[in-house]
Amino acid sequence: MSTHDEHEIPLPGSPASHAPRQDEPRDGQVLPPKPDQTGPEVRTPTGAPSADPQEAVAQQGDRLTTAQGTRLRETDHSLTAGPRGPVLLQDHHLREKITHFDHERIPERAVHARGAAAHGRFESNGRGSSISRAGFLRPGVVTPVFVRFSTVLGSRGSADTVRDTRGFATKFYTEEGVYDLVGNNIPVFFIQDAIKFPDVIHAGKPHPDREIPQAQSAHDTFWDFVSLHTEAQHHTIWNMSDRGIPRSYRMMQGFGIHTFRMIDDADGTVLVKFHWRPRLGTHGLTWEEAQLLAGKDPDFHRRDLADAIESGAFPQWDLAVQVFPDDEDQMFEGIDLLDPTKIVPEELAPLQVLGTMTLDRNPMNYFAETEQVAFHPGHLVPGVDVTNDPLLQGRLFSYIDTQITRLGGPNFAQLPINRPHAAVNDMLRDGVHQSAVHGGVAPYHPNSLDGGCPFLAGAGEDAFIDIPVPVGESRVQRAAPASFDDHFSQVRLFFRSLTGVEQQHIIDAYAFELGKCYEQAIKERQLQHLADIDETLCAGVAARLGLPAPAASIELPDVEPSPALRMVGGEWPIDGRVVGIVASPDSDEADLVAVRTRLHDAGVLPFVIAPTGGMIGGVPVQRSFDTATSVELDGVIVLAATDDRRALALLDEAFRHGKGIGVEDDAVSIFGSVSFGAEDEGVSTGSAPVLADALLGLLPGHRVWERMASLPA
Ligand code: HDE
């Protein structure tokens, strides 16, 4: 054994013990810290930059330390008895590092495991003050928010673009405490009573024997449940529509689903339903796009949200409410407001906008923020309260309960992302992961030892109040009210309100999902429900399954369509849309720069696509033919003729998915090799600037709908 080995523990007085410390500058030996390692930024618990060093939560100083703050010189080699000897148990750094790693994962959420989130702010326009005393709804009040979007069924590593409901959960850090609006992108739910939640989720999750399929509803147990449980038919048809495969989290509506109660300054109450309206419009993928993306970019929605925010295309939503009188029967136009499987059409109760939310900051750390955030529909502030909706009542129990397992104890409200911005003075004490150091000796009420503190809010001070709503003189029972019985007329309302192309997509989705089931009886049972919803719907799906279409078994009234339910139609801002520019090293650089600049100036992200990576003149290539995919693009401009099959496939897909395509005059020879021509709808030819303008004219409509197959009018 060499007595001067570099990794040997030096004895006092031996030459090695005089070696310079690693952090002492030594010529050519110490690398400067990387830019993101120089003095970490000081941030508040929820990640906002702060000038106050007391608010720092992690990573003080720029030298590596143990968890106890002892500086380290070495972290790449375990402590061994000699260069080839065994590792010593005394290596506390090794053991600390590995032990911590062994416990890095926490249980994923039982539902909504896969998600992405962002910070932002909600600015109130003050209109809510007439119906609610909530401080965050007063005129001009700006409240920090954290929003987490999610799928429901898949596990944490599943693909983003699967057909599923999306979670849309918002945490408002108001001055009166945290308010959580824990909603979905679909305004109704599968079930009317929380007691059935484990059933519907067990049915939707992978089969217990082989644990397949992942993150899908296209399997027997799901369709077994929803066909046996007719109240699920309404939510299910929304899932089968393009709402089940959103184009982007930024282009999704959000709904509180349940009816909530608002309380004004004079204790007057109204009932409300919450809606988030995306400024960019509500848009879906096509099913083929969604399937391709699940393989080519399983992180598509997560990436889209982060990229848009990073590039300054901050997504925005208006928060709106439908308002109803708080009558004793809690019905509106024959619709039971306590039934979470029903909507109130916007034509009957228009949306009233209360303010606007802007998401403008990506999380700094996925685990600390997106994974550890804990929402709960019972996180309420003065002025917003719950109703007797039996689904909501069950949720009020579930969320805290699940966090105790998921976040390892009852103190998860102390995690930085969950900490209220309002002052907290509770009497909750101790427990696993207690990180507060509470003063005083009397965490009970009333007390005299701590001078009576904490005191209760006095009359005239704002505080949460329990409104004495009547509960009637009922007897206990296990049954739903008769007003929850109609499971079909709003399903019909949804289908018949949509455009032909949206209806066709619903037929395609049922055909796929039921086509993946093995049990004939399940398909037939579901076809019977489709017959009761709409004859054309049933006939379209039955034909694709190769089964006879049954006749309707119930008589439903005709419905007044609700055009507000349509996604197709209208023009929308195009901020953050992505356009591919197919070019080659032979392309005219001036044309390329002109197209790029024109798109960029319009708020669109231009991606230069070329046979290989590198540069075209001074322009960097973002995607090579190896990495480019049609499904991340909203339109394509071709500046270079090509016969590469990958580029031609990209163009064919873009055409099939209804995307605008522009082909420069020099590149028209591609028409001989693709499935479309210059005369097709939404395909233009001409000079580079003309093509950019033509495409910018198409993007606000989301797709060239004329090209997509539609039900006959
Ligand atoms: Fe949830 N739900 N849920 N849910 N939910 C959870 O809480 C539950 C329901 C929703 O991004 C869980 O922290 C029950 C409706 C969202 O962290 C859990 C019932 C709506 C999220 C739970 C429902 C939602 C959850 C799992 C039937 C729309 C993700 C992890 C009564 C209004 C929040 C967690 C995030 C998460 C229970 C029904 C929305 C198990 C019992 C209806 C957006 O507690």
Running DSSP on this structure, what letter comes out for residue 230?
A: G
Model confidence pTM above 0.90:
yes
pLDDT, averaged across the chain:
92
Report residue 578 as tokens: 């992505």
Question: Residues 118, 362: contact at Cβ < 8 Å?
Answer: yes
Q: Which atom in ligand 1 lies closest to the alpha carbon of residue 197?
A: 27
ipTM over 0.85: yes
Residue entry with tokens 């997560």: 302
Residue 624 has pLDDT above 60, yes or no: yes
**Calculated CA dihedral for residues 589, 595, 600, 603, nearest 10 degrees:** -170
Report residue 520 as tokens: 């004939």
Q: Hey, whose CA ends up nearest to atom 30 of ligand 1?
A: 109
Could you give the 3-state DSSP secondary structure of residue 120? strand
Q: Which atom in ligand 1 lies closest to the alpha carbon of residue 340?
A: 42
For the beta carbon of residue 271, count every other beta carbon within 10 angstroms.
21
- What mean pLDDT comes out for the span 384-396? 97
Residue 23 has pLDDT above 50, yes or no: no
Residue entry with tokens 């949720």: 395
Please tell me whether the peptide bond between 246 and the residue prior to it is cis, using omega within 30 degrees of 0.
Answer: no
Confidence of residue 712 (pLDDT cuts 50, 70, 90): low
Q: Which atom in ligand 1 lies closest to the alpha carbon of residue 150?
A: 11
Would you kindly state where each structural domain of the chain is located, as residue ranges? Answer: 115-418, 488-565, 578-707
Strand partners, 301: none
Residue 396 has pLDDT above 60, yes or no: yes
Residue entry with tokens 């060093």: 53
Residue 283: the pLDDT is 98
How many angstroms separate the Cα of 155 from the Cα of each of 69, 108, 114, 470? Answer: 36, 8, 6, 42
Sheet of 605-610, strand order = 623-624, 605-610, 578-582, 635-638, 660-664, 683-686
Q: Rounded to the nearest whole angstrom, what is the distance from the C-alpha of residue 490 to the centroid of ligand 1?
A: 24
Ligand 1 site: residues with CB under 6 angstroms? 109-112, 115, 148, 150, 167, 169, 182-184, 189, 194, 197, 257, 373-375, 391, 394-395, 398-399, 402-403
Q: Rounded to the nearest whole angstrom, what is the distance from the C-alpha of residue 170 to the centroid of ligand 1?
A: 12
| Alpha carbons 700 and 612: distance in angstroms, whole number | 31
Running DSSP on this structure, what letter comes out for residue 3?
A: T
- Summarised one tens digit per residue, pLDDT across range 532-574 is 999 999 999 999 999 999 999 999 988 999 999 999 999 999 9
| Alpha carbons 247 and 369: distance in angstroms, whole number | 24
- Summarised one tens digit per residue, pLDDT across range 426-470 is 999 999 999 999 999 999 999 999 999 999 999 889 899 999 998
Burial 418-455 (b: 16+ CB within 10 A, else e): bebbeeeeeeeeeeeeeeeeeeeeeeeeeeeeeeeebe
For 250, half-sphere exposure in the C-beta direction (CA atoms, 13 angstrom radius) is 26
Residue entry with tokens 């090293």: 585
- What mean pLDDT comes out for the span 503-507? 97
| Domain 115-418 matches domain 578-707 at the CATH topology level | no
Q: Rounded to the nearest whole angstrom, what is the distance from the C-alpha of residue 395 to the centroid of ligand 1?
A: 7
Q: Rounded to the nearest whole angstrom, what is the distance from the C-alpha of residue 203 to the centroid of ligand 1?
A: 16
| Alpha carbons 71 and 653: distance in angstroms, whole number | 56
Residue 459: the pLDDT is 86
Question: Residues 576, 308: contact at Cβ < 8 Å?
Answer: yes
- Summarised one tens digit per residue, pLDDT across range 229-275 is 999 999 999 999 999 999 999 999 999 999 999 999 999 999 999 99
| Alpha carbons 172 and 120: distance in angstroms, whole number | 10
Instruction: Please say whether the structural domain 115-418 has been given the CATH code 3.40.50.300.
Output: no
Q: Report CA 701 to chain centroid distance, whole Å.
A: 23
| Alpha carbons 162 and 353: distance in angstroms, whole number | 31
Residue 55: the pLDDT is 54
Q: Report CA 163 to chain centroid distance, whole Å.
A: 13
Report residue 290 as tokens: 């969604």
Question: Residues 145, 357: contact at Cβ < 8 Å?
Answer: yes
Share of the chain above pLDDT 70, in %: 91
Q: Residues 578-707: name the CATH superfamily.
A: Class I glutamine amidotransferase (GATase) domain (3.40.50.880)
**Length in residues, the chain:** 713
| Alpha carbons 135 and 141: distance in angstroms, whole number | 8
Q: Hey, whose CA ends up nearest to atom 29 of ligand 1?
A: 112
What architecture is the 488-565 domain classified under in CATH?
Answer: Up-down Bundle (1.20)
Q: Hey, whose CA ends up nearest to atom 20 of ligand 1?
A: 183
Residue 460: the pLDDT is 84
Helix, strand, coil % in the chain, rounded to nearest 5: 30, 15, 50
Is the CA virtual torsion 566, 569, 570, 573 positive or negative?
positive
Confidence of residue 20 (pLDDT cuts 50, 70, 90): very low
Please tell me whether the peptide bond between 454 and the residue prior to it is cis, using omega within 30 degrees of 0.
Answer: yes
If one residue of 150, 152, 375, 392 were mutated to test the ligand 1 pocket, choosing by the most ligand atoms within 8 A of its CB, it would be 375
| Alpha carbons 393 and 379: distance in angstroms, whole number | 13
Q: Rounded to the nearest whole angstrom, what is the distance from the C-alpha of residue 412 to the centroid of ligand 1?
A: 17
Question: Residues 341, 231: contact at Cβ < 8 Å?
Answer: yes
Report residue 245 as tokens: 């495969």
- Closest among 574, 511, 556 to 700, alpha carbons compared: 574
Residue 36: the pLDDT is 42
- What mean pLDDT comes out for the span 673-683? 97
Question: Residues 649, 629: contact at Cβ < 8 Å?
Answer: no
Q: Which atom in ligand 1 lies closest to the alpha carbon of residue 167?
A: 43
Q: Hey, whose CA ends up nearest to atom 39 of ligand 1?
A: 183
Residue 410, exposed/middle/buried by CB under 10 A (0-12, 13-18, 19+)? middle
Q: Rounded to the nearest whole angstrom, what is the distance from the C-alpha of residue 393 to the centroid of ligand 1?
A: 12
Residue 709: the pLDDT is 77
Instruction: Provide the annotated active-site residues.
Output: 112, 184
Residue 15: the pLDDT is 44
- For residue 573, give every residue at least 6 positions away whose Cβ sits within 8 Å of its Cβ, in sequence order, or none: 279, 280, 281, 603, 700
